[in-house]
Structure 1
Amino acid sequence: MTARIANISIHAEDPAALANFWAAVMGYPTWVSWPEDELAELRTAGMSDEEIAERAEAWDGNPNHQRFYFTRYNRERRQRNRMHIDVTPFEDRRASRLELETERDRLVALGASLEKELVGSWGPYEEYAIMMRDPEGNEFCLQ
């Protein structure tokens, strides 16, 4: 048996809004709500609409694609992210700097902010990434 990542879980002040940001980043459908059958089960279990709205997801339903899961978190962030997500605009190849800059501009238009560009090398390999933050300040890199 081997492990796999089930979800990328992110604490959020506004789970639905952050789900929609990441859905747009990943090309997933816009988050609207949980499926009607799940909503019925949650309500039958005694959950209010407010409690149900404390969670959201960004996913296209494809088990081969990563699911992002958001849960309301109202506590103060005390430190920098110890782990972050790296995203790339292509599945099958490395993006050029121009392609990364174009994707950076798209993500900024969606609500991301630019933190800094990371330029360096690892042995003979050029390393170039763009450190960004989602609308709630979570770090991620575009590479």
Structure 2
Amino acid sequence: MSHLDAITIHAGQPARLAEFWSAVLDLPIDPGDAAAIAGGTLPADESVLLGSRDGLHVWISPADELAPAGGRLHLDVRLGDAGELDRLVRLGARHRWDDPEGRWTVYEDPEGNVFCAVPPPATAEG
């Protein structure tokens, strides 16, 4: 049966965008890619791996042309707590708009890719 193996995010500057998404998703940058980024040796045509290939992972891949912001795919990121919205902004996210019913908030990553920040589920009070 088919299953989701990876998500690919196209980027003009994969190293910069990898650092953003690594922090947002709490997925480590592959050690080899991290070393290349730190050493300034990541080739311009090289993708950056977040997470591990033995599970669901994310590729930040270079693209000569980027689809306009709001393209065909975006991520919904479930927040651990409401304070994480401030963390997204500190990481470089830009607020676009809020769902009028409070179900999500739309942000852009540093390259203009749109994603939704979804609040944590309400806890049942007993």
1:105 and 2:86 are equivalent in the alignment: yes
1:87 and 2:80 are equivalent in the alignment: no
Which residue does the alignment assign to 1:27? Answer: 26
| 8 Å contact kept, 1:23–1:31 | no
Question: Structure 1: 5+ residue runs without aligned partners?
Answer: 40-47, 91-98, 121-126
CA RMSD of aligned residues (A): 2.8
Flag the structure with larger Rg: 1
Q: Distance in 2 between matches of 1:132 and 1:35?
A: 26
Which residue does the alignment assign to 1:130? Answer: 105
Equivalenced residue count is 114
| CA offset digits 1:64-96 (Å, max 9, x no partner) | 5x3110111121534631221001124xxxxxx
Which residue does the alignment assign to 2:121? Answer: none
Which residue does the alignment assign to 2:43? Answer: 50
Question: Structure 2: 5+ residue runs without aligned partners?
Answer: 119-126
* Shift, 1:105, TM fit: 0.7
Q: Distance in 1 between matches of 2:21 and 2:79?
A: 13
* Amino acid across the alignment from 1:103: E
| 8 Å contact kept, 1:54–1:72 | yes
Q: Distance in 1 between matches of 2:68 and 2:91?
A: 26
Structure 1 segments (4+ residues) deviating >2 Å: 28-36, 48-51, 61-64, 76-80
Query: What SS is found at the alignment partner of 1:10?
Result: strand
- Percent identity of equivalent pairs: 29
1:16 and 2:52 are equivalent in the alignment: no
Q: Write 1 or 2 for the structure with the bigger share of helix.
A: 1
1:68 and 2:53 are equivalent in the alignment: no
User: TM-score scaled to structure 2, two decimals?
Assistant: 0.74
* Amino acid across the alignment from 1:50: P
